[in-house]
Amino acid sequence: MIRQNSRSSRLSLSSGDGRSQPDEGGNALEDYLELVSGLPFELQRLLTLLRELDHKAEKKYRETNALQDEYLSWAKARLAATQQPGSPPCTLEGALELVANHRAKLELDDVRGELHSLYAEKVAVAEQARDLVASHTKRLRKDLTTFGRYLEHIGAYDPAVEEQLAEEAANIDQLVDGMSTTSSQNSSAPPDRNHRDHHHQRDHHRERDRDRGGGSSTGRERGRPSKASTREKKAAAAAAAVDGSHSGKGADVANVLLAAQGGGVAGSDNSHYGGSAMQPRASPGDQVAAHLTDAGGDGSLEGEWVLAQVVECILSGSGGDRTRGQAQQHQVRYKVMDEDDHNKTYIVDDSQLVTLHHGHSSLPAKGETVLAVYPDTTAFYRGVLTALPPPPPRRGGHAALLQAQQSAVCQVQFVDDADDDGHTPHRSVPARYVIRVP
């Protein structure tokens, strides 16, 4: 069953009139961020709707062309059959009367009407997105004006700083105008007529697949060995310190490895899908994909990959004999918290956890079967990656790169997600929530 995101209630813009004013304590930024928190999701919903309307309009357009070709062919044959040798040519009015009542002509009129309705709906959705952005822009300008007056009141307002910021903003605008941008358009299925029935049907498919054991796969896909990095060097130095220490106890190894925050020793496999048993691949607070089993033993979560957060890294000894020259080995386990219910925690092995990537180069290839978080849920489902996000900007520094990674969106066609017409829509999924099938 699809797991509804319990955090969605936190994304509402505001309560009441939604116009909380910044107070004189300097909380203008916090107030506006709270108001704008739902803007990206609302814009994404509108853009997804536009893609769905595009796909439906494209389908109707192809149908229109087919009906038009059929009608013109029949009309030419009809006029040729009624034209007798030596008779005067048929008038335009007479020709139109002869070909007025064909089935294709009547269907063509209906399809064209539907096509015009789709175009009108697309314009309305685009205007809604424009008005949404305009209202937030207007609110931001109003809050900035109020905050500027507050700064003037407390004597913290500096006109020179404002001029410098305005000059930098103008330079940024000039840079943005000079950059070439590319956009990819992906067709998507028309919106479901009954969204609730569609989700009910999808839940049925998921329960069926889980009963068949289709939701899990055997074996794990090992990631490529990563090159030596700063984190790896820190971990290597920490490991060397442990080897040179006088105690060599498992607790000391655990403390040093945890202090290294998951960095791998040089040459070890530090991928998202599995690493050395000696070092954790995730730190407390990291979001991960976790393969959970129900703690109560009823198996309700068995076979599901869900979005979770690491609470604690646990290193446990697995034996070893130092007298024989063998280093003591430690197995990494994780205590994770279900993002759908923060009251539930689970202990998972390293093989039951996949760290979420944040770089464009770490994404699976287009056309590859993946696991992705289905929209409005915290559960990963199988699908095909149909579109990748654009590459991150080469300029702008670390802040621009981080923003691009956080806002990157992929398109995924999920298994068993077809609508009544048999078309599988392209769903928008944040890139960090798309992983290879373990």
Question: Exposed, middle or buried: residue 261 (CB in 10 Å: 0-12, 13-18, 19+)?
Answer: middle
Most confident of 208-222, 280-294, 384-398: 280-294
pLDDT at 399: 67
User: Does the pLDDT at position 376 exceed 80?
Assistant: yes
pLDDT at 130: 85
Q: Are 261 and 238 in contact (CB under 8 A)?
A: no
**Same topology for domains 282-317+330-356 and 358-437, yes or no?**
yes
Can you tell me the distance from the alpha carbon of 235 to that of 260, in angstroms, rounded to the nearest whole number? 5
Can you tell me the distance from the alpha carbon of 356 to that of 307, in angstroms, rounded to the nearest whole number? 10
DSSP structure class, residue 353? E
Query: Any idea which residue has 């569609």 for tokens?
Result: 198
In the structure encoding, which two tokens stand for residue 321, read together? 């004999």
Q: For all residues of the chain together, what is the average pLDDT?
A: 67
Give me the helices (H) in 83-184, please: 92-98, 103-154, 159-178
Of 131, 139, 165, the residue nearest 42 (C-alpha):
131
Of 288, 294, 289, 291, the residue nearest 215 (C-alpha):
291
Dump pLDDT digits (tens) for 306-358. 999 999 988 775 444 444 444 445 678 899 998 888 888 889 988 899 988 76
Q: Are 306 and 340 in contact (CB under 8 A)?
A: yes
User: Does the pLDDT at position 424 exceed 80?
Assistant: yes
- Prediction pTM value: 0.38
Judged by average pLDDT, the poorest of 26-30, 111-115, 326-330 is 326-330
Dump pLDDT digits (tens) for 144-172. 777 777 777 777 766 676 676 667 666 65
User: Per-residue b/e over 103-142, b at no fewer than 16 CB within 10 Å?
Assistant: ebbebbeebbeebeebeeebeebeeebeeeeeebeebeee
Partners of 369 in the β-ladder? 384
pLDDT at 195: 41
Which is it for the CA torsion 432, 433, 435, 438, positive or negative?
Answer: positive
User: Does the pLDDT at position 413 exceed 50?
Assistant: yes
pLDDT at 8: 37
Which is it for the CA torsion 392, 394, 396, 402, positive or negative?
Answer: positive
Per DSSP, the three-state class of 262 is coil
Q: Are 71 and 105 in contact (CB under 8 A)?
A: yes
Which is it for the CA torsion 283, 288, 291, 295, positive or negative?
Answer: positive
CATH of domain 358-437: 2.30.30.140
Q: Are 405 and 30 in contact (CB under 8 A)?
A: no
Judged by average pLDDT, the poorest of 80-94, 294-308, 388-402 is 294-308
Domain spans, the chain: 26-83+90-160, 282-317+330-356, 358-437
User: Does the pLDDT at position 382 exceed 90?
Assistant: yes
pLDDT at 327: 43
> What kind of architecture, by CATH, is found in domain 282-317+330-356?
Roll (2.30)
